[in-house]
């Protein structure tokens, strides 16, 4: 079977220039995993699924948009791409640029990028530049660079990123046969929520698949869309969404409102708690990825959402392996024993 990524599969639904070429790592087609145990814990009486985007080739949902953005840039003979990133965009941009021998320059906020993401960007051969500032500072710089030099910007301000990312909404509809009743997802720079909403609306127009209500979830220390103003020093354990000035903030608010949903914030504790709950269902995601379902848990607990008899999808945007350090920090380290059968038996059988 030849490789078939999201561009080849959903090309007819993507508004891209004719020069766009296929640069693929067979991204997309990620599993929609039922998590009945978690649904029960949250009160039961509804169907809950995780769209596990950590199963994309570089371990995050970014690959869906990157295949199209890089395909467009490569198709018009651009030689260099640039992005600002909390880590996942960087790794994805680096991988797809490597695929077609383009130069990738990725800028990251200093000291706040999870180990698996930085390692990925380096491994795929990107030129990684740490900026002494936040993600928002880095984004503002790369936007200026892309305006002044023949260097393609591949952040989600690039419309082709969203064209590719819409494919996740299409896949969910194709798998379930229609849109879910609710879609819960983390919100950082707000490209993903905007793309999902575009995708669901488009599929509904073409195929009558219906529309979900959308619950976007920010981290409490980085919640500009909930507070209604930018956050100058965003903080959260979920470093992927540590963003104070979301580039597509307006669009995200519109998506939530038009869908009859909302954008809320959850604490770091709620995020880490949901990360553990998901892992207890066999789905290990990075902290930011747990935010969407942490938001669902909070809404259900506060009686603000009625999901009885409904189908709910939580989008888990990145793999747990992206951020191994968080587990080391928030979970007990492994027990150490001498290499003796008796000691192992005692430990397993709970003997003193």
Applying CB under 6 A, the residues found at the interface with ligand F0G are 60, 62, 85-89, 156, 186-193, 240-241, 286, 288-289, 317-318
Cα angle, residue 46 at apex, residues 41 and 51 outer, rounded to 5°: 85
What's the closest the beta carbon of residue 149 comes to ligand F0G, in angstroms? Answer: 21
What's the closest the beta carbon of residue 103 comes to ligand F0G, in angstroms? Answer: 19
Q: Given the complex with ligand F0G, which of 191 and 224 has the nearer CB atom?
A: 191
Write down the residue that tokens 């145990």 correspond to. Answer: 37
Q: Given the complex with ligand F0G, which of 20 and 60 has the nearer CB atom?
A: 60
**Alpha carbon distance 9, 61 (integer Å):** 16
Q: Given the complex with ligand F0G, which of 46 and 191 has the nearer CB atom?
A: 191
Number of neighbouring beta carbons within 10 Å of residue 329:
10
What's the closest the beta carbon of residue 1 comes to ligand F0G, in angstroms? Answer: 29
Q: Given the complex with ligand F0G, which of 46 and 198 has the nearer CB atom?
A: 198
CB 114 within 8 A of CB 87: yes
CB 64 within 8 A of CB 6: yes
Q: How far is CA 26 from CA 64, 160, 264, 350, in A?
A: 9, 17, 33, 47
CB 131 within 8 A of CB 109: yes
Q: Given the complex with ligand F0G, which of 46 and 226 has the nearer CB atom?
A: 226
What's the closest the beta carbon of residue 241 comes to ligand F0G, in angstroms? Answer: 5
User: In b/e form, how buried is each residue of 293-302, taking b as 16+ CB within 10 angstroms?
Assistant: bbbbbbbbee
Write down the residue that tokens 């892992």 correspond to. Answer: 279
CA 68 to chain centre: 17
Q: Given the complex with ligand F0G, which of 93 and 102 has the nearer CB atom?
A: 93
Q: Given the complex with ligand F0G, which of 46 and 264 has the nearer CB atom?
A: 264
User: In b/e form, how buried is each residue of 193-222, taking b as 16+ CB within 10 angstroms?
Assistant: bbbbbbbbbbbbeeeebebbbbbbbbbbbb
């Amino acid at each position: 079977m030849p490789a078939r990524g999201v561009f080849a599969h959903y090309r007819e639904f993507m508004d891209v220039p004719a020069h766009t070429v296929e640069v693929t790592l067979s991204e997309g087609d990620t599993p929609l995993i039922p998590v009945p145990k978690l649904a029960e814990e949250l009160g039961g009486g509804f169907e809950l699924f995780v769209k596990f985007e950590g199963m994309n080739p570089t371990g995050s949902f970014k690959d869906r948009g990157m295949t199209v953005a890089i395909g467009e840039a490569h198709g018009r003979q651009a030689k260099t791409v640039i992005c600002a990133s909390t880590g996942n965009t960087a790794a994805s941009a680096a991988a797809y640029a490597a695929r077609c021998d383009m130069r990738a320059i990725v800028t990251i906020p200093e000291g706040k990028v999870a180990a698996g993401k930085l390692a990925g960007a380096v491994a795929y051969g990107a030129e990684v530049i740490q900026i002494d500032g936040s993600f928002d500072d880095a984004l503002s710089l790369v936007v200026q660079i892309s305006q002044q030099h023949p260097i393609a910007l591949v952040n989600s301000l690039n419309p082709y990123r969203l064209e590719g990312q819409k494919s996740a909404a299409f896949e969910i509809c194709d798998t379930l046969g229609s849109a879910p009743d609710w879609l819960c997802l983390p919100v950082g720079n707000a490209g993903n929520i905007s793309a999902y909403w575009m995708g669901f609306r488009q599929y509904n127009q073409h195929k009558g698949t219906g529309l979900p209500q959308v619950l976007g979830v920010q981290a409490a220390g980085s919640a500009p869309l909930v507070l209604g103003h930018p956050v100058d020093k965003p903080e959260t354990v979920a470093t992927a969404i540590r963003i104070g000035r979301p580039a597509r903030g307006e669009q995200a608010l519109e998506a939530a409102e038009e869908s009859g949903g909302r954008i809320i914030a959850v604490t770091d504790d709620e995020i880490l708690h949901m990360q553990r709950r998901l892992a207890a269902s066999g789905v290990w995601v990075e902290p930011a990825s747990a935010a969407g379902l942490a938001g669902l848990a909070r809404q259900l607990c506060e009686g603000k959402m009625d999901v009885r008899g409904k189908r709910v999808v939580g989008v888990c945007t990145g793999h747990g392996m992206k951020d191994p350090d968080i587990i080391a920090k928030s979970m007990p380290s492994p027990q150490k024993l001498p290499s003796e059968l008796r000691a192992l038996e005692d430990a397993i059988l709970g003997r003193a």
